[in-house]
Amino acid sequence: MPSIFSRIAAGEIPCHRVYEDEHVIAFLDIAPVSRGHVLVVPKEERERLHELSPDSAAALGRALQRVAAAVVRATGAADYNVLQNNGAAAHQAVMHVHFHVIPKHADGTGLGVGWRAGTLDQAHAPALAASIRDAMH
C-alpha cells in the first residue's frame, strides 16, 4: 500500500507542488503551521531518514536547501525552522520521510519549540561520541 506522499508523487492525489525532480517532490502542507509551510519529500518511500539510500538522501539535501531559499524569497520570512520527525513517539504522523520548512513570521506564527536542554555529562561524553563514531559506516 503506497503512502499518501507516494500517491501525491504519482499524481493520484492532488497537491500544490512547488518543486519536483527525479528524486524529490515538495508541496504545500495541507494543515500549515504558518503561511508558506512546505513539505520536502523523497520519492523513495522509506519510513525514517536513516533508511534512505545515499542517492536519495543527497538529492533530498540539495532540494531542501533550494526549497528553503525559495520559501524565504516568496514569503519574506527570513527566519524559519526545518523539522523532520522519525517515529510516532517523535510526532511522525505520515510514515514516509519528509522535511517540514516552516516560516517564522513577524506576527509570531510558525513552529513553537519545546526544548528541555540538559547538561552534557562530560564523564560519559567520550564513550558516547566514540560509540556513535564507531557506528558510522
Active site members: 98
Q: Which three cell numbers mark 33?
A: 503551521
The window from 53-61, 90-98, 104-112, 117-125 that contacts ligand AMP (CB under 6 A) reads 90-98
Nearer to ligand AMP, 14 or 126 (CB): 14
Of the pair 61, 125, the CB lying nearest ligand AMP is at 61
How many C-beta atoms surround the C-beta of residue 82 within 10 A? 14
For residue 83, list its beta bridge partners.
100
CB of 17 to ligand AMP, least distance (A): 10
Give the contacts of 60 (CB within 8 A, at least 6 positions apart): 23, 24, 40, 42, 52, 97, 99
Q: Which of 3, 81, 92, 109 binds ligand AMP (CB under 6 A)?
A: 92
